[in-house]
Amino acid sequence: MDYIKGLNDPQREAVLHKDGPIMIIAGAGSGKTRVLTNRIAHLISTGIPAYNIMALTFTNKAAGEMRNRIEKIIGNDAKDIWMGTFHSIFAKILRFEADKIGYNSSFSIYDTDDSKSLIRTIVKELRLDDKVYKANVVLNRISAAKNRLISFREYLNNPIYAEDDRAYRRPEIGRIYKIYQERAIKANAMDFDDLLFNTNILFRDHPPVLNKYQKKFKYLLIDEFQDTNLSQYLIVRRLAAMHQNICVVGDDAQSIYAFRGADIQNILNFEKDYPKLSTIRLEQNYRSTKTIVQAANSLIAKNKAQLQKDVWTSNEDGSLIKVVKSMSDSEEGKMVAQSIFEAKMHDQLTNSDFAVLYRTNAQSRSIEESLRKANIKYKIIGGLSFYQRREIKDLIAYLRYTVNHRDEEALKRIINLPKRGIGDTTLQKVLSTAYEKELPLWEVLTNIRKHITGRAVTAIAGFAELITKFEDAASKLDAFETASLVAKESGLLKDLYEDKTIEGLSRYENVQELLNAIKEFVDNPENQANDLTSFLQEVSLATSADEADDDGDEKVTLMTIHGAKGLEFKNVYIVGMEEDLFPSQMMLASRTELEEERRLFYVAITRAEKKLILSYATSRYQYGRIKNCEPSRFLREIDPNFLEQGQGSANAAAYTNTSFVKNLRPKKPFNANQNYNHKPSPNFKPSDTRDLKAGMTVEHLKFGLGTVMEVKAHNNDRKAVIAFEKAGEKTLLLSFAKLKIHE
């Protein structure tokens, strides 16, 4: 029983527990994956056949890692465990039982694109407005219904759903849902949601089938139980009804997927379904410092809907959590880049030791730009690089074609975006005409009636007029004014605004963030020109860098907090800690929503192993205007004993005395090497460092006075090695370092 060695008492108890229902409440960093895998290994070692065990996870990756770990402990028997995601396991069962519910075993599984394509076809056949009945919107509505086990018949007969759809001016969604399902069945196809929906129908309507699988699966284990929805919960409850050997592992404090249908009540009310439940709490955190663990505890204690637990750690105290105020989102990005650069030099860290987490994808833009300028490699997880996102490329393509009518690739992207009735066949005719007659493409477009006929001619003429209008605007207006006009008049903004899904909202926010970037460019006095061509040049240079980096390269990780769940990093930056951003303005309607946001912040905090930096800006570009921002309420909810007020830059220094952290008590230093906070000179003003040389005396806001030892080139920048009187030797990137040269 080597797999028992090294486990703490609660972990050992969870592994050795055999029969009856058990709930393992696993705090962040408490080793739950190890417990889950060792528990399965223990069951098999006690004589339970592997094929009698079902283990459900939320990702194929998690399932693969668990299986590999179990194989190392017990050998090839692990291959017989029914282990995988909910969808993969129940798709397997449906293959065997398909005939019971009107399918055959060779049914297709529709992906999202297949589903959207079918919805578009139905909308067209019903002669509905595809701008109102957008495929994405309709599919999300159908998906939400299926996850609540609402069939199209129930949907059509429920006056509440009908009234809801009428309120959003989409009264035909029920009919689309009906036709969609009928077509799918006729095509012998299931979509992703059907895999769970149909499993529930199978077990509900066919007791002998349910009985067969109840006998087969004597032990059920479910990971990330706090993220299950109603459909998933009912399946496992039915399966476990015979033997009651159900083990659920989760942490209510990390339930953050309500927008996907996850129901935190599944874990909160689990005891009601299983009165003989054994509950084991894994409360020892192996990941983070005491400071981070205690800070996270002080935050999550504010939630009312939660299970009792007291997470603790025997790890070192570690650094205080630094709270950094910046004047703007741009300055916030510079702070992050400078901080990473300094930490790498000071603590001998690599890029992969750092992660930057944010609430929305749009926030990555200012971080990306600063990291790029500092020549710090990074990767975007769970999303594309800002300028590679579809909606960003769409607007950029419009801007490119406005200033360059020969840009054929841009034209192909935008000529039917938003949809204006110009199909691929028509576009090919236009291109062929230009090629065959050796005419500029723009000439063909502006004189389209001379060259081709058909219904699309009017639409093409309208498109050409639109581009001419944009071109005229670009000759008179700055980049921001032009881009705002293009975004509005093209219909792109309207299209995204009307898509009220999570994805649609995210895309709309991203386009607004692009406009913010353009406004920032225009307002920057260092730029010699503020026209559209100049901005596009800057963007093209920023995005044309060699992206084909070796996968083995060390890179800073950028991702949303939702995407970071389950991961850990030595140093974590959580940016955009501002009211209406985090917590999101959309999540303030109820206590339930606010508590979900607080859990999301808890998840973010607990990703950090050694150091955590929380950052907020006092102003941020929003909708092309500078918005004054207030620090997030969540920052006030953390016990101030675990916080240290920092500063973003020289410009932010004046604001540090007005910290929102009330009555900030004297703090212990970060560590022995960092007890060097410096009070800047009264007349501190950063000097021009272009002529900085070895031997000069300089002053740094944080490190104090020092002597320049060496100045050397660093890619397209320069860095200086400076011996500070108290802080020791530091290497600083001069484009970021704020240094005052003392004569």
SS (H, E, C) 307-328: CCCCCECCCCCCCCEEEEEECC
Which of the 8 DSSP states describes residue 456?
T
Q: Is 223 known to be catalytic?
A: yes
Q: How far is it, in rounded angstroms, from Cα 95 to Cα 514?
A: 47
Q: Which of 519, 607, 719, 730 is catalytic?
A: 607
Structure-block tokens of residue 466: 């639109």
What single-letter amino acid sits at 106?
A: S
C-alpha separations of 576 from 336, 367, 586, 614, 631 in Å: 12, 11, 16, 8, 9
Q: Which of 57, 254, 622, 731 is catalytic?
A: 254
Q: Which of 11, 32, 368, 519 is catalytic?
A: 32
First to last CA, the chain: 71
Q: Which residues contact 396 (CB under 8 A, 6 or more apart)?
A: 387, 514, 536, 539
Q: Do the Cβ atoms of 631 and 307 come closer than 8 Å?
A: no
Strands (E), 497-575: 556-560, 569-574
Q: Which of 191, 223, 263, 520 is catalytic?
A: 223
Q: Is 607 known to be catalytic?
A: yes
Nearest Cα residue to 634 out of 593, 597, 585: 597
Q: What kind and span of H or E run contains 251? A: none
Q: Is 39 known to be catalytic?
A: no
Which of the 8 DSSP states describes residue 732?
E
Phi, psi of 433 (to 5 degrees): -60, -45
Q: Which of 224, 227, 531, 597 is catalytic?
A: 224
Q: Do the Cβ atoms of 398 and 418 come closer than 8 Å?
A: no
Q: Which residues contact 490 (CB under 8 A, 6 or more apart)?
A: 395, 398, 414, 417, 418, 466
Q: Is 224 known to be catalytic?
A: yes
Q: Is 32 known to be catalytic?
A: yes
Distance of CA 260 to the CA centre of its chain: 13
Q: Which of 33, 265, 501, 674 is catalytic?
A: 33
Look at the block and give the residue holding tokens 């959580």: 574
Q: Is 702 known to be catalytic?
A: no
Q: Do the Cβ atoms of 82 and 51 come closer than 8 Å?
A: yes
Structure-block tokens of residue 237: 């409850």
Look at the block and give the residue holding tokens 């030791």: 353
Q: Which residues contact 420 (CB under 8 A, 6 or more apart)?
A: 459, 462, 463
Residues identified as active-site: 32-33, 223-224, 254, 607
